[in-house]
Each structure stands twice: as structure tokens, then as C-alpha cells.
């Protein structure tokens, strides 16, 4: 596990900078406060849930994880399982986080803490690039985790989200944090009976266009009686134009970039 910085005083603040980061990341503040360590029950719950759904790791890594969480709890019950299956590394972590939160009756507080982290990503678009930087040292990751823990808020009383951050840092997976946050939101939506509609466009859509999409999907097979539709608009200039619509396990790619890629492939195959 990551260790606190020597000599830090709880609750103190500073505006100093990361000394060891690449220059492009030098604007990140060094936190001097040490957030409390996750509670043992939260750490055990999250670690057990993650090992149950995670891909098989090398023997050495599995042995290290076993030593760290030797006293982990047993298999989770069906009542604590995520309502839908998610894929990818971020989906695996999000599912493990959901199970850990469900076991401690902390789904809503965990969701609130992750919403606070999502607000940090929205406020600082460069944060995701920093978390993906391969040059981050153990000390860098520790300082970043401590800074992120400041934004979790008081809802994380079980320390589940704090333990997630420490686990991601320890496993060199901080780069998937934003994906974990987004996919946990999908799980919570399914838990609450919401159907999430993700609409990606090259530029922000106006309210009229979003309302028309929402009305069309509400009358489709994807939204059944008793369910509510949640529209999540996203902007990605790289698609150049058009839309990418994602709902349930289906993706409809109507983007200009996709059409150009298909056209280029057709020309290449023909010539």
C-alpha cells in the first residue's frame, strides 16, 4: 500500500508544486495533509470484489495481492452484484467498487464521492493526461492520490473511494479513474431503473436536438415501463461531425470520422 509522506501534518494546506513531475504537469499542487486510511472493512470489501472480477494477473502480482489482503472477506452474495455487466479494465474496477459499496450499504455515498471527482475532471481537462503519464513515480502517484482525496468530500465514511484511489495507484491504473467514475454512474443508473443514453457530438448540442433524441428513444424497445431515460451529452471534436449514440449494449456510429474511415478503407481495398 502507499505510505504517507513523512512529516506531513493533517489538515495543512500549501501551494507548493510537484518537484518530480514532467514540466507540463508542474502546476499540480503538493498536498501536505494526509487523508485518513480507508477502514479495514471497506478495504476488504473492495479488494475481495475486485479479485473476483478482475483478469488473471501474473503469479507474482497475485501473490503480492494475496499478502496485502490475506484477511479479505468471502464471496459476495447475489444481492451485492452489479445490476448489469460492464467490460474493460475500468468496467472491472467499477463493478468491484459497486460490490464493495453494496456490501457496506454505501452505494449512494460512494456515488456522491465519485460525482465530486467527476467535477474535478470537468474543471481540469488536463488531469486525465496527467494520470496517464508513464513517467509518474511512486511519490508522484501518492501526492496525486492525496490531492484527489481532498475532493471526495465527507460522504466516503467507509473509505471505499479512498481505497479505490490507493488501489489504482498501486496497480499503475490511475489512468482509468475517469472511466471508473463514468461506468459506476452507469451501474447506479441501472440500479435506480435509469437507462443511460450517451450522445457524443463534435460540438455541444442544443436543447432542442437533445429533446428530440430523448423523445425518440423513450418510445423505443430500450426503455420499458417503470424505467426513466437519462441523457448524457458528450463532446469529442475528433468525430468531426454527426453523432455517436450509445444505449445499453448498442452503439450507433453516425459520425463523419466513421464514414471517412469506411470510405478510405473502401478506396484502399478497391485500389
pLDDT one-digit tens code per residue, 172-201: 999 999 999 999 998 998 899 988 889 999
- pLDDT-derived band of residue 39, with 50, 70 and 90 as boundaries? very low
Q: Total domain count for the chain?
A: 2
Arithmetic mean of pLDDT, 89-118: 96
Please give the pLDDT value at position 44.
54
Q: Which residues pair with 247 in a beta bridge?
A: 197, 250
229: which strand partners? Answer: 195
Q: What's the chain's average pLDDT?
A: 78
Q: What is the pLDDT of residue 195?
A: 85
The answer to whether residue 17 is domain-embedded is no
Q: Answer yes or no: is 209 within a domain.
A: yes
* Per-residue pLDDT tens digits for 41-87: 554 555 555 555 444 444 334 333 333 322 333 344 677 999 999 99
User: Residue 72 in contact with residue 43, Cβ under 8 Å?
Assistant: no
pLDDT in tens, 122-168: 899 899 999 999 999 999 999 999 999 999 999 999 999 999 999 99
- Strands laid side by side in the 250-253 sheet: 228-235, 194-201, 243-247, 250-253
Residues 142 and 252 in one domain: no
Which pLDDT does position 187 carry in this prediction?
Answer: 94
Q: Is the domain of 171 the same as that of 48?
A: yes
**212-228, pLDDT tens digit by residue?**
999 888 888 888 888 88
pTM, to two decimals: 0.59
Asked if pLDDT for residue 26 goes beyond 70, the answer is no
Domain boundary among 145, 161, 187: 187
The answer to whether residues 257 and 139 belong to one domain is: no
Same domain, residue pair 38 and 131: yes
Name the H helices within 154-253: 160-170, 177-191, 207-218
Which pLDDT score, from 0 to 100, does residue 208 have?
Answer: 94
Are residue 74 and residue 176 in the same domain, yes or no? yes
Domain span including residue 67: 23-187
Claim to verify: residue 246 and residue 159 sit in the same structural domain: no
**Which of 153, 187, 221 lies at the terminal end of a domain, its last residue?**
187
β 250-253/243-247 pair status: antiparallel
Amino acid at each position: 500500500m502507499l505510505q504517507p509522506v513523512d512529516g506531513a501534518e493533517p489538515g495543512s494546506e500549501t501551494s507548493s508544486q510537484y518537484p518530480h513531475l514532467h514540466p507540463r504537469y508542474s502546476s499540480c499542487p503538493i498536498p501536505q495533509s494526509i487523508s485518513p486510511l480507508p477502514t479495514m472493512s471497506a478495504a476488504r470489501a473492495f479488494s475481495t470484489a475486485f479479485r473476483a472480477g478482475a483478469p488473471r494477473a501474473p503469479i507474482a502480482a497475485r501473490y503480492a495481492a494475496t499478502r496485502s489482503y490475506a484477511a479479505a472477506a468471502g464471496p459476495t452474495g447475489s444481492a451485492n452484484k452489479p445490476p448489469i455487466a460492464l467490460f474493460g479494465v475500468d468496467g472491472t474496477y467499477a463493478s468491484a467498487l459497486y460490490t464493495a459499496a453494496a456490501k457496506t450499504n454505501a452505494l449512494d455515498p460512494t456515488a456522491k464521492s465519485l460525482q465530486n471527482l467527476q467535477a474535478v475532471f470537468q474543471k481540469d481537462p488536463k488531469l486525465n493526461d496527467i494520470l496517464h503519464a508513464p513517467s509518474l513515480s511512486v511519490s508522484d502517484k501518492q501526492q496525486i492520490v492525496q490531492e484527489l482525496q481532498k475532493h471526495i468530500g465527507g460522504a466516503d465514511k467507509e473509505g471505499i473511494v479512498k481505497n479505490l484511489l490507493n488501489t489504482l495507484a498501486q496497480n499503475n491504473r490511475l489512468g482509468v479513474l475517469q472511466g471508473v467514475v463514468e461506468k459506476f454512474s452507469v451501474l447506479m443508473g441501472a440500479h435506480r431503473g435509469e437507462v443511460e443514453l450517451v450522445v457524443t457530438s463534435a460540438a455541444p448540442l442544443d436543447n432542442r436536438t437533445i429533446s428530440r433524441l430523448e423523445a425518440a428513444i423513450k418510445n423505443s424497445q430500450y426503455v420499458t415501463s417503470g424505467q426513466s431515460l437519462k441523457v448524457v451529452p458528450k463532446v469529442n471534436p475528433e468525430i468531426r461531425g454527426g453523432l455517436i449514440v450509445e444505449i445499453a449494449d448498442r452503439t450507433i456510429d453516425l459520425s463523419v470520422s466513421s464514414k471517412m474511415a469506411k470510405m478510405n478503407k473502401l478506396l484502399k481495398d478497391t485500389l
